[in-house]
Amino acid sequence: MTVGVTASPLGAAEDTAVETALAKVNVVRYGGADRFETSVLTTKAFSDFKGDLIVSVMMVSGFKWHDAVVTAPFDTPVILTRRNAVPPKTMEYLRRFTSPSNGAPFVTLISTNAISPAVDDQLAKAGMEVFRIDGSDQFLTSVAVAERLGGLSQFRGVRTVILASGQVFADALVAGRLASYDHLPILLNPPHALHSKIREFLSSYDVEQVILMGGAAALSQDVEDSIRELDIRTLRVAGQTRFETAVEVARITGLNSCHIHGGSLAVGLTRAWVPYDAFSATPMLARYGAPLLLTAPDELPPATMAYLDEARAAQAKCGDEPLMLIVIGGEAAVSQEAIDAYLQRGEEIVTTDE
């Protein structure tokens, strides 16, 4: 069922609003008892997507967002661990793919002084090979992960990397869809000056373009000028708020075509000020071609609602299938009441709990 409502793109003039059919919404929630269980749920969704046999995973601290966001370019599950031990349900999930014929998953462990060697030992005793990527701080770790990715991919025909603040997680988190879409590395930088190791990476890898995430408060004009002095073009993706920046990224990457997944388009949604629920979600969202939007726990912001209207209008043109709204986190993270308040148009809401 679709309904006729007024929908206009974010920032459009009021006199351009038109009556547009909006599709129903199928709410699929991935929320465990804690961030570690949520990580297992989203990672399981990744592996179950096409019945994949997981041969490798990336493991990061459940308390260090810097290490998680830089994994986005890899088409690999990302799973969380505690500092001194892998949680039981996480180990149970990893053992699911361990057998005499298949061996055990290869674990790339990314740690900025956040995961102790006891985790390496635990994984090794379970038959898993572990490769560590360490850095003394978040900036050097991001460079090390980018180097592990290897040669640079292109964004619109240009060799490109993404640069985000190493002090504010939101911009780097929502850049995940852009990074995964074209396998672009995410480098973390201080807000006020271009880090020497970032500068070295840009020159060594013959980078042609840097996408700067966020406004001048996140990455200053001095940072941008330093990049341009290297004869590298810049493209800044920024809104007035983190919600609007997420929407800008969503518009750049777009939605999958109608024929994907039985005609259902998808959009991700997570809370804006606590990143942990979404640490492991980027690979799963990438498989659905779903951008990640941000919200307050109890109310969807105007920018987020406006983009959801656009996505639902696009879904309505695809056919009768509902838009899939993939909510990352439990009720405390994104309340059903907030979603219901957005959907005050009389249509039935189809919900699925994972």
142/330 Cα distance (integer angstroms): 29
Does pTM surpass 0.85? yes
**Distance of alpha carbon 112 from alpha carbon 135, whole angstroms:** 5
Is the confidence at residue 305, as pLDDT, over 70? yes
162, 113, 55, 264: CA torsion to nearest 10: -40
Strands 130-134 vs 158-165: parallel, antiparallel or unpaired: unpaired
Identify the pLDDT of residue 264.
84
Q: Please write the tens of the pLDDT for every residue from 234-264.
A: 999 999 999 999 999 999 998 877 765 556 8
CA 289 to chain CA mean position, Å: 11
In sequence order, the 6+-apart residues with CB closer than 8 A to the CB of 97 are: 47, 53, 54, 55, 104, 105
Is the pLDDT confidence value at 225 over 90?
yes
Contact between 322 and 24 under an 8 Å Cβ cutoff? The reply is yes
Collapsed DSSP state (helix, strand, coil) of residue 57: strand
For the ranges 4-13, 83-92, 184-193, 272-281, the lowest mean pLDDT is seen at: 4-13
pLDDT digits (tens, 9 = 90+) for 184-215: 999 999 999 999 999 999 999 999 999 999 99
Measured at the alpha carbon of residue 145, what is the angle toward residues 131 and 283, in degrees to the nearest 5? 90
Give all domains of the chain, ordered by start, each with its CATH number.
1-32+254-354 (no CATH), 48-134 (3.40.50), 149-238 (3.40.50)
The pLDDT of 135-139, averaged and rounded, is 95
Convert the pLDDT of each residue in 57-80 to its tens digit: 999 999 999 999 999 999 899 999
* Least confident stretch, 12-21, 47-56, 253-262: 12-21
Q: Report how far residue 91's alpha carbon sits from residue 44's, in angstroms, rounded to the nearest whole number.
A: 13
User: pLDDT at position 49, please?
Assistant: 74
